[in-house]
A and B are shown apart, each in its own frame.
Chain A
Amino acid sequence: MDLLRDLLDKQVVDRRQVKIGKVDGLVAELRHGKPPRIVAVELGSITLARRLGSRPGRWVAWLAARLGGERHAEPHRIAWKKVRNIGVDIEVDVDVRRTAIFDWQDWLRDHIIGRIPGA
């Protein structure tokens, strides 16, 4: 498999086919005498910002920590063993409601969108 072509930047869907983000980053573990092993995919704005450079990365990480607290100071990771299927979308065996990925969407819903009539 070609990681950059077939994995990075692809759509990630959770167990219930909810679109939860793109594969923004890939984490590999370096091992002595053995090839690096993929251990997780990363999602979220911090990972994306880090791809643009170390400075944007630091800013966004700081901002995320300020707004979201400790839980959001690091990018969201989904362990590689949760990846079930790699096709048009990357399907992961996770329920997005049990992760912090959509915390900001929940906040938006609870504090703004949900309060507008007709939502």
Chain B
Amino acid sequence: MASVNLEHLAGRRVLSLRGKSVGHIEEIRAERDGDDLVVTEFHVGIFAAFERLSASAIGVAMLDLFGLRHRDCLYRIPWEKLDISDPTRPRLRCTLEQLSHMKAGIDGKGKAWSSNSLRHVMASSVWKIALTVFLCASGVGTVLWYMTGAQPPFSNQDQQFEGPVDVAHGELVFAAGDCASCHATPGQSDRLKLGGGMALASPFGTFRPPNISPDPVDGIGAWTVTDLANALLGGVSPERQHYYPSFPYTSFTSMTAEDVRDLHAYLRTLPKVSGRAPPHDPAILFGIRRSMGIWKMMFFRQGTTSARLDGDPVHDRGAYLVESVSHCAECHSTRNAFGAIKSDTRFAGGIDPQGTGFVPNITQHRLSGWTENDIATMLKTGETPSHGRVGSSMADVVTNTAMLPDSDRQAIARYIKRLPPIATPRP
């Protein structure tokens, strides 16, 4: 007589006469017959698996939780109805209709479920487990919801944003912040028409800087100074949404209240542009703005700066410009898997997140041949000491830095010149 290895049946899919899948074998029941042990039933379906793991209560609770419980969860197939001569391909010997009489399961009235102990276990602990799972889940959910909410850090009553404003100084902040490079309407030459809409490609999707002209409907004409402060320093919009970090609030966050105030005043003097930028096109997970709450929790500390101060007023002014307003590190660093700057590559260059080449290392590792004056000159004219010109996006930056007073360019140059050398990370 042929013999078969029963262990091959475990977890095997059972096929009906027509080749349709009925479920997986989860248990083989045997009974004593005289001196012999003979196979009597095959249990198919997920309940049988729960039963084998003594986890019916948890399993049923989980199925209910996801609304997956249905009647096909347990078949008890008598031995003669299953052909196991090839244990890797067990086949039913009867039709599915006949099989439906062998269904056993919890069918609402609870009569077909045969195991008494099981019912006992279910009655005593299913609600406890369900409650535990529910409480844990809702606890975690509430905490997450709370922690990822966008709380504007400043209220409209905040005194620090009130006071006299200096529009001319605001213009310098605007230039130092390089705002026009991203927010000017693309396809026209006026850098003061801030209609937004340029596409910023990144591994996390395509982002489009919005309209920040003083248009009250499409732009930010209706914003108060506090709204602007919340955006620049807190990364939170007036609609209480998180901004994507393609807007470099990670650097702006250490700007002074005075600069925010003056910038706000200056922005109001610019021409209104109507029309909104097309929406962002973020990668799938980042489509949910709240996910930025988690990102900010991990990588954004409001009000902090990576600036190193050494007491020299020119250097420290440079530190403020480089690290906060001009946000140089945002491009001149390598980013980690979550799109945050890797702190040990700050200013050491790396792959352009837009995928258009390599951003140079501006630490002393590469710039050791440049003098302070070389750097300052480059920021004014775009010329490098080797009589070349900076290109691509740095050319836009130079358009803006050229408008700064000489003292500010000197300050930036001094800070850059004193950056410790860091080797360029290998891509």
Q: Which positions 38-74 of chain A face chain B at CB distance < 8 Å?
A: 38-39, 42, 47, 50-51, 54
Contact of A2 with B28 at beta-carbon distance under 8 Å, contacts A30-B85, A35-B38, A35-B39 already known: yes
Asked whether any CB of chain A lies closer than 8 Å to the CB of B218, the reply is no
Report the 8 A-B pairs with minimum CB-CB distance, sorted nearest first: A35-B38, A3-B28, A26-B6, A38-B37, A36-B39, A35-B79, A25-B7, A5-B52
Residues of B within 8 A of A2 (CB): 27-30, 52
B38 touches A4 (CB 8 A): no
B39 touches A3 (CB 8 A): yes
A4 touches B10 (CB 8 A): yes
Which residue of the partner chain B has the closest CB to A1? Answer: B30
Determine the distance from Cα of A57 to Cα of B8 in the docked complex, in whole angstroms: 12
Residues of A within 8 A of B28 (CB): 2-4
Asked whether any CB of chain B lies closer than 8 Å to the CB of A28, the reply is yes
Asked whether any CB of chain B lies closer than 8 Å to the CB of A100, the reply is no
Nearest-neighbour CB distance to chain A for B32, whole angstroms, equals 8
Classify the interface of chain A: helix, strand, loop or mixed. Answer: strand
Residues of A within 8 A of B29 (CB): 1-3
Nearest-neighbour CB distance to chain B for A70, whole angstroms, equals 20
Which residue of the partner chain A has the closest CB to B11? Answer: A4
Asked whether any CB of chain A lies closer than 8 Å to the CB of B36, the reply is yes
Asked whether any CB of chain A lies closer than 8 Å to the CB of B378, the reply is no
Determine the distance from Cα of A2 to Cα of B304 in the docked complex, in whole angstroms: 64
- Quick one: CB contact mask for A12-49 with B, threshold 8 Å, 1 for yes? 00000000000011111111001111110010000100
Determine the distance from Cα of A51 to Cα of B84 in the docked complex, in whole angstroms: 16
A27 touches B79 (CB 8 A): no
Determine the distance from Cα of A54 to Cα of B8 in the docked complex, in whole angstroms: 10
Residues of A within 8 A of B27 (CB): 2-5
Residues of B within 8 A of A3 (CB): 6, 27-30, 39
Chain A residues with CB under 8 Å of chain B are 1-5, 8, 24-31, 34-39, 42, 47, 50-51, 54, 80-81
Nearest-neighbour CB distance to chain B for A34, whole angstroms, equals 8
* Beyond A4-B52, A5-B52, A37-B37, 13 additional pairs, beta carbon < 8 A: A3-B28, A4-B28, A8-B6, A27-B5, A28-B39, A30-B3, A35-B80, A37-B39, A38-B30, A38-B36, A38-B39, A42-B5, A80-B37
Residues of A within 8 A of B310 (CB): none
Which residue of the partner chain B has the closest CB to A53? Answer: B88
Nearest-neighbour CB distance to chain B for A80, whole angstroms, equals 7
Residues of B within 8 A of A34 (CB): 38
Determine the distance from Cα of A54 to Cα of B3 in the docked complex, in whole angstroms: 17
Nearest-neighbour CB distance to chain B for A23, whole angstroms, equals 8
Q: Which positions 12-31 of chain B face chain A at CB distance < 8 Å?
A: 26-31
Q: Which residue from B3, B26, B31, B40 sits with its C-beta under 8 Å from A27? A: B3
Nearest-neighbour CB distance to chain B for A74, whole angstroms, equals 12
Nearest-neighbour CB distance to chain B for A6, whole angstroms, equals 9
B5 touches A30 (CB 8 A): no
Which residue of the partner chain A has the closest CB to B85? Answer: A30
B7 touches A8 (CB 8 A): yes
Which residue of the partner chain A has the closest CB to B82? Answer: A36
B5 touches A25 (CB 8 A): yes
Determine the distance from Cα of A4 to Cα of B52 in the docked complex, in whole angstroms: 8
Could you give 6 example pairs across A and B, Cβ below 8 Å? A2-B28, A3-B39, A5-B27, A5-B52, A47-B5, A80-B36
Residues of A within 8 A of B10 (CB): 4, 8
Nearest-neighbour CB distance to chain B for A99, whole angstroms, equals 19
Name the residue among B2, B10, B37, B88 with the largest chain A CB count within 10 angstroms.
B37
Q: Which residue from A27, A35, A81 sits with its C-beta under 8 Å from B6? A: A27
- Quick one: CB contact mask for B376-406 with A, threshold 8 Å, 1 for yes? 0000000000000000000000000000000
